[in-house]
Amino acid sequence: METSNAIIYIDIDKDTPRINFWYPTNLPEDYRNYIADECISIISGDPTFIPEVLLIFPISALKIKVLIKYFKRENFNINKSASKSAIIFIFDEEEDQIYYRYMSYIDSYFSNTVSTLLNLEKNGISAEEIHDEIVKLHMILCNLTDYLSAKSEYVPETVEPSKKISFDRQVDKRKYKVVVLGDPHVGKTSTILRFTDNVFLRAYIPTMGLNITQKIFDVDTSLVELVLWDIGGQTKFELIRKKFYEGASIILVLFDLSNAMSFANVPKWYQDVKSYMENNQALKGYLIGNKNDLVNKRTVNESDAKKLAYALDLEYLEISALTGHNVESTFQKIARKLLNF
């Protein structure tokens, strides 16, 4: 049966899921349970932690991804104690870049549904009406997916509209997973946005677990698709990060040239990935120093950065996500390196 674009509503009691509702109604029980267990594993170990925003999470064994909205709810009939719940939307892996691009927009629909559910439960409304709200959200998300997919059709910036690349024709297209790592505030998300949309993110927004985006572009005679996994650097996401390293074609470790501590932590990020690679295999990648526009605030010199890159068997590059300096050429180099592996 078709199991993508399904929705599940669960309660979480002491890291144990209780599945309240799901749609379509013929979603297999073992399938529902597996997804619920995976989603609980993200926040297990910290009874107080509830991510504040919508998350994207891969479930590799099922070849799917999920949008997860965690929230706190009141057990109004049981001593008014608080518990956790989650709404989980299941979708095909190839649609992940749509949700990344419009994450805040989609999050608003989840938030509206959560608010409605909490009000219904507080007022003792029947389970049937709560189920109807879950089904309504499912319908909205399915329609949004279709709409945003059409809206997000890729048109290369350097190609005239009349010469738009058709991805239906036979072309030499290569797809690679690029994992982007580094301390919080070093500019990972800003660098990705500068590359994919030529926009600098001027307000820092903490990456909540994972953001995924892509760019497809020409490299010599090949069409290259880079799928960029921007993995949150906060300590509380340590357990989550480990799930996202699998299948990486290359790693990019970013640090802030004006922040010596972010440079000192580079070996930690390198070892974090390496410890989860099969057979202790060598890592291919780049060490990238960001914010080279901050000349007067620079604390890491180029010589030291190159020495560390050499020690880790990485190539070294410097960029500025603010000005765009060397960002495009860096990703061109990354794409050529991937094509030559």
Q: What is the pLDDT of residues 55-96, one digit of tens each?
A: 877 787 888 889 999 998 766 455 445 578 999 999 887 666
CA 92 distance to own-chain centroid:
14
6-151 — its CATH code?
Answer: 3.30.450
Q: What is the pLDDT of residues 277-330, one digit of tens each?
A: 665 566 789 999 999 999 999 999 999 999 999 999 999 999 999 999 999 999
- Residue of 130 and 235 predicted with greater confidence: 130
Smallest CA-to-CA distance from 3 within 97, 66, 85, 87 is with 66
pLDDT at 275: 80
pLDDT at 241: 63
How confident is residue 209, by pLDDT bands cut at 50, 70 and 90? Answer: low
C-alpha to C-alpha distances, 122 to 8, 73, 128, 134, 221, nearest whole angstrom: 21, 10, 15, 17, 61
- Residue of 101 and 225 predicted with greater confidence: 225
Give the whole-angstrom CA distance, residue 189 versus residue 211.
Answer: 8
What is the radius of gyration, based on Cα positions, of the chain?
22
Q: How high is the mean pLDDT of the chain?
A: 80
Q: Which residues in the chain are classed under CATH 3.40.50.300? A: 166-340
Is the omega angle on the peptide bond into residue 206 within 30 degrees of 0, that is, cis? no
- Cβ contacts of 25 within 8 Å, gap of 6 or more: none
pLDDT at 168: 43
C-alpha to C-alpha distances, 268 to 78, 242, 255, nearest whole angstrom: 45, 13, 12
215 pLDDT higher than 70: yes
Of 79-88, 89-98, 228-237, 257-266, give the range with the top mean pLDDT. Answer: 257-266
Tokens matching residue 109: 């629909």
Tokens matching residue 327: 């960002």
Of 48-57, 122-131, 210-219, give the range with the top mean pLDDT. Answer: 122-131
Please tell me whether the overall predicted TM-score, pTM, comes out greater than 0.75 for this model: no
Tokens matching residue 253: 């470790």
Task: Fold for 166-340, please state it.
Answer: Rossmann fold (3.40.50)
Mean pLDDT value across residues 14-37: 89
Three-state secondary structure string covering 4-58: CCEEEEEEEECCEEEEEEEECCCCCHHHHHHHHHHHHHHHCCCCCCCCCCCEEEE
Give the whole-angstrom CA distance, residue 3 versus residue 21.
Answer: 15
Can you spell out the DSSP letters for 184-209?
TTSSHHHHHHHHHHS----S-----S
Tokens matching residue 328: 């495009």
188 pLDDT higher than 80: yes
- Residue of 52 and 129 predicted with greater confidence: 129
Paired with 86 in beta bridges are 10, 70
pLDDT at 69: 92
333 pLDDT higher than 80: yes
How confident is residue 3, by pLDDT bands cut at 50, 70 and 90? Answer: low
- Hey, how many other C-beta atoms are within 10 angstroms of the C-beta on 221? 8
Amino acid in the structure at residue 48: T
Paired with 214 in beta bridges are 227
How confident is residue 214, by pLDDT bands cut at 50, 70 and 90? Answer: confident
How confident is residue 193, by pLDDT bands cut at 50, 70 and 90? Answer: confident
Which three-class secondary structure state does DSSP give residue 156? coil
- Hey, how many other C-beta atoms are within 10 angstroms of the C-beta on 192? 29
Residue 314 is classified by DSSP as -
Q: Which residues in the chain are classed under CATH 3.30.450? A: 6-151
